[in-house]
Amino acid sequence: MRHAAIIGTGQTNHTRRRDDVTQPELIREAAERALADAELKPSDIDAVIISNMEMFEGRAMPELWAAEGAFAAGKPCMKVATGGTSGTSGCIAGFHQISSGLFDVVLVIGFEKHSEGHTQTGMALVDPFWDRSVASGALGNFALSVSQYMAERGVTEEHAARVAVKARRNAANNPHAHLKMPDVTVADVMASPVLAHPIRKLDMCPQSDGAAAIVVASEDKAKKLSPRPAWVNAAITRHEQPYIGDIERRLATMRTLKDASRVVYKQLGITNPLEQFDVAEIYEPVTYAELAWYEILGFCEPGEAGRLIEEGVTAMDGTLPVNPSGGVLCANPVGATGVIRVAEAALQIHGRGEARQVDGAKTALVTGYGVYAWADVIALGAEPGGN
């Protein structure tokens, strides 16, 4: 298989509502910025992938409507829709198109315009016989799992609040972030209203309008076109059984994320991810999920996530800065969210993270999370083929 690398990234400034643009115009902003970043013309793109959860907007076939905004008319184009993992799965599909030799330059674009539709309705359209009458939505699903995770692993509301503070303060350094709160405190988070016990308003991600794009290139092209490509050194995805009740102690076990990460670590010879990655951009739609992922991803032993956040191990100046961008807690246009994780990790390798740059970052870990189960894990590096 050929090596693939990310040679350009582009994002909109994610926000609650972008009623000044249509979906294709929103996409165009991110796509144009990614092409400019890679110093490429639309005609240099061989194929386009679009990640979007169209049930949220209620507009079918977004890959058709968006074709012009996405530079896709007259080119191979497909859509990827796997819940929250849509963006990372779209990126992985693009990596495979390059690695397989099918194409040399692929543009991956993720977008969501939650303000135009009904995200809750989209989330409620589950199995009509089993759980549609008792659907608890993303918030309820998380709250249920969090109650188990807290009881089992001794995580507290204060630990979660510390995650929220880290994210919102990091986001203040990210011009693209939706929620920037440079002065937010643990007390502020713990005083915010309880939406679904024990999850508070400031524990949750927002719903955002936004788009993000990356340009992926083959080894030859990347070396020619980019002074510092972000090499895709591993990309693994996992699916799961269909019902939330199928997964035993979900946040503590999360076999999709655990299995995908272990395959990545094995491929790269990683035995201590906390020390061996320089930065991580992980998909944490709620504060408690970030803590659970620390344990699942092997940043610490089970039950130690609280200590990690207390000691600042994942802060900007810690051993492994997690989500310098502010993460999903600070911007969540669902179809774009996974692409944002990949783009932010690539920016770190490119050394163009500006105020949110982790000094000298050469390796980055990325995760995607979809519905309550799907997981993607991607490793990027400054050198092709390994960490």
Residues that bind other proteins (CB under 8 A): 12-13, 15, 17-21, 25, 29, 58, 120-121, 123-137, 139-140, 143-148, 151, 193-199, 241-246, 249
Nearest C-alpha neighbor of 26 from the set 80, 59, 72, 68: 68
CA 114, chain centre distance (Å): 17
For the bound state, the minimum distance from the C-beta of residue 221 to other proteins, rounded and expressed in Å, comes to: 30
What SS3 class is residue 217?
A: strand
Note whether 268 and 188 are within 8 A (CB): no
Q: How many alpha carbons lie under 13 Å from residue 219 in its C-beta half-sphere? A: 10
In the complex, the smallest distance separating the C-beta of residue 194 from other proteins, rounded to whole angstroms, is: 6
In whole angstroms, how close is the CB of 365 to other proteins at the nearest point? Answer: 28
Reported in sequence order, the residue ranges of the chain that DSSP labels E, i.e. its strands, are: 4-11, 47-51, 77-80, 105-113, 194-196, 199-200, 209-218, 230-238, 279-281, 363-370, 374-381
Q: Which one, 274 or 375, has the nearer CB to other proteins? A: 375
Q: Which 8-state DSSP code applies to residue 108?
A: E
Contact (Cβ atoms closer than 8 angstroms) between residue 77 and residue 106: no
| Shortest Cβ 168–other proteins spacing (Å) | 18
Amino acid making up residue 319: T
Evaluate the omega torsion of the peptide bond into residue 324 and state whether it is cis, within 30 degrees of 0. Answer: no
Min dist CB 348 to other proteins, Å, is: 24
Residue 133, CA distances (Å) to 88, 127, 344, 353 in order = 31, 9, 39, 45
**In the numeric block, which tokens belong to residue 166?**
């880290």
What letter would DSSP give residue 357? P
Determine how many CB atoms are found less than 10 A away from the CB of residue 251: 27
- We find the least distance from the C-beta atom of residue 25 to other proteins, in angstroms, to be 7
196 vs 279, beta carbon nearer other proteins? 196
As measured in angstroms, the least distance from the Cβ of 16 to other proteins is: 9
Please say which residue, 78 or 191, places its beta carbon nearer to other proteins.
191
What's 15's DSSP letter?
B
- Which residue, 149 or 293, has its beta carbon nearer to other proteins? 149
Q: Residue 33 or 162: which CB sits closer to other proteins?
A: 33
Nearer to other proteins, 126 or 297 (CB): 126
Nearer to other proteins, 194 or 355 (CB): 194
